[in-house]
Amino acid sequence: MLEIKGLTAKVEEKEILHGIDLTVNAGEVHAIMGPNGSGKSTLARVLAGHPGYEVTGGTITYDGQDLLELAADERARKGVFMAFQYPVEIPGVNNAYFLKAALNATRKEQGLEELDAIDFMTLVKGEAKRLQMDDSMLQRSVNEGFSGGEKKRNEIFHMAVLQPRLAVLDETDSGLDIDALRVVSEGVNALRSPERAFVVVTHYQRLLEYIVPDHVHVLSEGRIVRSGGRELALELEDKGYGWIESAGAGARR
């Protein structure tokens, strides 16, 4: 579904990603771990098509098409979703109203009929309930005044409504207490399916106890320095990231 080859990218004239290779098949969950500043969010934002990040080399293929050719909104309508590490507060834009516009834009692209207000509200209320989200969050401005945890929950709520094919979750676990983490993880697990893939970016392996990955990759200084199965996450938990940093590029496999 997703094939990243030799990806290099820079932001503000500084190269952050120095050659990423990653293949994600439908049905899989890949975890990307790594110390702060290693480039995890940069990778997520490049996948989502943030205009501030310039791809300087390599390719990204998504469902056989060149992802880099597509603008952020086109990617989204083709099923690429990124849950933001820091969701943006947008005063004056109603959360439900926005989500309805987003969902209908996607449905239109897929040749589906747009949902009317009643069907939409039925859908979102159901998803909100599953995520144990207060209904009032639907009628508030997008992320405005939300607590850290509410913002993350809202991201997963958007994902649940939009039903993407490829979801990139950028540190969705940070800022969540253990109960919230469980609820959010259940939300993600409910979406797991043979047609769908996840790239879960996290700093801690705790999340991976709830969202069990098929593959774990360690990112360090803009490179994937190790890949493995679930056990790699546990190893990191034990040893921390220190050994990777000291091993540097030499640890690359």
Ligand X SMILES: Nc1ncnc2c1ncn2[C@@H]1O[C@H](COP(=O)(O)OP(=O)(O)O)[C@@H](O)[C@H]1O
Residue ranges that bind Mg ion, judged by CB under 5 A:
40-41, 85
Q: Among 8, 61, 141, 163, which residue sits at the site for another protein (rule: CB under 8 A)?
A: 141
Determine which residue in the list 66, 73, 116, 135 makes contact with another protein, applying CB under 8 A.
73
Residue spans of alpha helices (H) in the chain: 40-48, 72-77, 95-109, 117-130, 136-139, 148-162, 178-191, 206-210, 230-239, 242-247
- Pick out residues in 12-31 that bind ligand X (CB under 6 A): 12, 16
Interatomic CA distance for residues 145 and 125, integer angstroms: 21
Per CB under 8 A, which of residues 25..54 are in contact with another protein? 48-52
Do 159 and 191 meet the contact criterion of CB atoms below 8 Å apart? yes
**220 is an interface residue for ligand X by CB under 6 A:** no
- Which of 71, 112, 117, 247 is the binder for another protein (CB under 8 A)? 71
What count of other Cβ atoms lies within 10 Å of the Cβ of residue 190? 12
90 binds, among another protein, Mg ion, ligand X, none (CB under 5 to 8 A by kind): another protein
Q: What are phi and psi of 150, to 5 degrees?
A: -65, -35
Contact flag: residue 41 with ligand X (CB under 6 A): yes
C-beta of 151 vs 223, nearer to another protein: 151
Nearest-CA neighbor of 93 among 162, 149, 154, 173?
154
Helix (H) or strand (E) holding 31, with range, is strand 29-33
Nearer to another protein by Cβ, of 26 and 72: the residue is: 72
Residue 192 CB, shortest distance to another protein, in Å, is 21
Q: Which of residues 168-227 bind another protein (CB under 8 A)?
A: none
**According to CB under 8 A, which one of 152, 158, 215, 223 is a site residue for another protein?**
158
Read out DSSP for 87-152?
PPPEEEEEHHHHHHHHHHHHHHHTTPPPP-HHHHHHHHHHHHHHTT--THHHHSEETTT--HHHHH
Q: Is 42 in the site for ligand X (CB under 6 A)?
A: yes
Residues that bind ligand X (CB under 6 A): 11-12, 16, 34, 36-42, 52
